[in-house]
Chain A
Amino acid sequence: MKIDLHTLGPLVALIALVILGAALNSAFLAPANITNVLARSAFIGLIAVGMTFVITAGGLDLSVGSMAAFLAGIAIIAMNAALPGTGENWGTILIGMGVAIMGGVLAGYLNGALITKARIEPFIVTLGTMGIFRSLVTWLADGGTLSLEYGLRTLYRPVYYGGLGWITWPIIAFAIVAVAGEWVMRHSRFGRHVEAIGSNDRVARYSAIDVNRVRLLTYVLLGVLVGLAVVLYVPRLGSASGSTGVLWELEAIAAVIIGGTALKGGRGRVWGTVVGVLIMSLIDNILNLADLVSPYLNGAIQGVIIVLAVVLQREKRTADER
């Protein structure tokens, strides 16, 4: 497998951040902190892997944050509703997981169908569904918070906090999805079709690729991964509200772009996306661990590092192409 120069820029930024963090606070490299950061990254990470496919195929999805909140809401409602019939056991939790994943499939299909069949711009479609999902969860929660019944929560809790030693389930899920995503993008027919469509969809169509079907599938895949993120998110706090998942879509898109995937499509880097996600969550972590700047400036530091990571990558690319 060839090492790609485009991913080196963000990787350099990531390594620099790790060294900076370790220098500023010895607690940074403690296993507990590493677990925290990786597990927290998993939600955005899973979504960002899906987003890599959507963006590579020349699409965009702004609805994922709202979709996550909505799926968390209906999963909690489904589990609470099933509880009297099925009892406090893993069966009930599996129902909730099923609702989240199936909901993700349907929500992704809705986005994809509106984009490919009704031929509406992805930006507009997902802007619309973003508002729809967000207000639906606010409505379901009556403006408040939907909470999972206490006994079920206790049972479900280890899905976020448990795992194999320090490596908790969200980290394992993120790792598996990242490896699988990289393989699909690099070595499967689907991945090659996605890149072909993003580069030039007319040529792809002439090459007998079913462009609409592949595009639709990228949105469904993203929906499934949002559902999976929700399966891991719900046990953490056991609740969902109108403020769940706010701005996740932009974090995911930023991670994808930092990782070297082109926003205009055609070139997808799943490994880069993983690096991008880690950069984003490390910045937060380091700013909290070290009293470097006024907390009012946290957003500015984040902005600078995001832009820097992309600048590093651009320079590498021009050197590569020269």
Chain B
Amino acid sequence: MKRRSLMKSAAVIAVLGFAGAPVFAQDDAKTIIGVSIPSATHGFMGGLNWHAQDSIDRLSAAYPQLEFVLATAGDAAKQVNDIEDMMATRNIDGLVVLPFESEPLTAPVKAVKDAGKFVTVVDRGLSQEGIEDLYVAGDNTAFGRVAGEYFRDNLEDGAKVVVLRGIPTTLDNERVEAFQAALEGSGVEILDMQHGNWNRDDAFAVMQDFLAKYPQIDAVWAADDDMAIGVMEAIAAANRSEEMWVIGGAGMKEIVKRIMDKDPQLPVNVTYPPALISSAIEMTALNFVSGAPMVGRFIIASQLITPENAERFYFPDSPF
């Protein structure tokens, strides 16, 4: 545990150093919004960090009365410290937080709310309801369902598919259950499900074993674009690229590009956009600069990326 947190906090320093975390002079006339997110330890979070920085730059230029404090944390304990520091030293007026874990962050975020601040919680809910003013999240159930419906509609009766799962979490369970529910009664058979841990190398090894085990596979739900890349490499090495197509997820730019180019092996993709952090930051900013009501729950739909609409989901500058 010690070893991991050291590793991650080192990553935080690197990210902060690179992004050039904004350091503003203290000014009481300004509204200060704190943004606390996990550090960029894998592709999706890298993208999320990039979009957070991008939104902050844009909003700082558009609204000079707003100031932002961005902190990235490698673990829950560091994130709690970040939020306490924001309260103690920067006297923030609003907080946008993507909790590393629900339980440990609930009390500190509640303390911010009790101090009368505007609180936006992103993606992972707190373990106690009714703390946040605004909740912005992706839709994990729809993420699995949209993919499952595509499989149901585009595969013959009796077709066989394999599934790569992520790191064992409730989030992964919600996706997989929705995927299975969408396939129910369709005659499409799920041969096997194994954990590829949202990692290219792990997914590569799992897919190699699936290919050795099953002579017939018609499609693969890789459930994540990093895993999709490992999966496609394993399929190519076994010379079976013609036999099956692969659906990833989350909208990585390289994959979206290949969908734009009508790659037959990657017909579509399902979004779970890292840019959801931008929605959260922008809406929080609007709460302070406009009279528009910004309180409630905002669930970002998981959409199907097809060759026709792929351009809308392509961010060539993002690292993800």
Binding site for B on A (CB under 8 A): 25, 27-28, 30, 32-33, 36, 40, 62, 66, 127, 130-132, 134-136, 138-139, 141-145, 147, 161, 236-237, 239, 241-244, 246, 284-285, 288-289, 291, 295-296, 298
Main secondary structure of the interface of A (DSSP, over half): helix
Q: A32-B212, A130-B3, A288-B210 are in contact. Are A161 and B254 (CB under 8 A)?
A: no
Among B13, B193, B204, B209, the residue within 8 A (CB) of A236 is B204
Chain A residues within 8 Å of B49, by CB: 143
Instruction: Give Cα A236 to B233, complex, Å.
Output: 8
Instruction: Give Cα A257 to B209, complex, Å.
Output: 27
Chain B residues within 8 Å of A134, by CB: 7, 10-11
For residue B237, CB closer than 8 A to chain A, the reply is yes
> Are A36 and B40 closer than 8 Å at their CB atoms?
no
Instruction: Give Cα A130 to B2, complex, Å.
Output: 13
> Which of B50, B213, B230: most chain A CB closer than 10 A?
B213
Q: List 16 contacting pairs A-B, 8 Å CB cutoff, sorted by A.
A: A32-B238, A36-B209, A130-B7, A131-B7, A138-B11, A138-B14, A139-B11, A142-B40, A237-B201, A239-B229, A242-B40, A242-B46, A243-B43, A288-B194, A289-B212, A295-B168
Instruction: Give Cα A144 to B9, complex, Å.
Output: 17
Q: Please encode chain B, from 1 to 20, with 1 for each CB lying within 8 Å of some chain A CB and 0 for all others.
A: 00100110111011101100
Chain A residues within 8 Å of B319, by CB: 141-145
CB distance from B155 to the nearest CB of A (A): 22
Closest to B230 in A: A237
Q: A40-B205, A243-B199 are in contact. Are A143 and B50 (CB under 8 A)?
A: yes
CB distance from B316 to the nearest CB of A (A): 12
Residues 31-74 of B contacting A (Cβ, < 8 Å): 39-43, 45-47, 49-50
> Are B46 and A143 closer than 8 Å at their CB atoms?
yes
Closest to A134 in B: B7
16 new A-B pairs (CB below 8 Å) besides A142-B40, A237-B200, A295-B165? A33-B209, A36-B209, A40-B205, A131-B10, A135-B13, A138-B15, A139-B14, A139-B18, A143-B15, A143-B320, A144-B320, A145-B46, A145-B226, A295-B194, A295-B195, A296-B168
Closest to A248 in B: B201
Q: A62-B3, A127-B6, A135-B10 are in contact. Are A298 and B201 (CB under 8 A)?
A: no
For residue B180, CB closer than 8 A to chain A, the reply is no
For residue B192, CB closer than 8 A to chain A, the reply is yes
CB distance from B260 to the nearest CB of A (A): 16
Chain B residues within 8 Å of A288, by CB: 194, 205-206, 209-210, 213
Q: A136-B14, A285-B209 are in contact. Are A243 and B42 (CB under 8 A)?
A: yes
Instruction: Give Cα A147 to B39, complex, Å.
Output: 21
> Are A142 and B7 closer than 8 Å at their CB atoms?
no
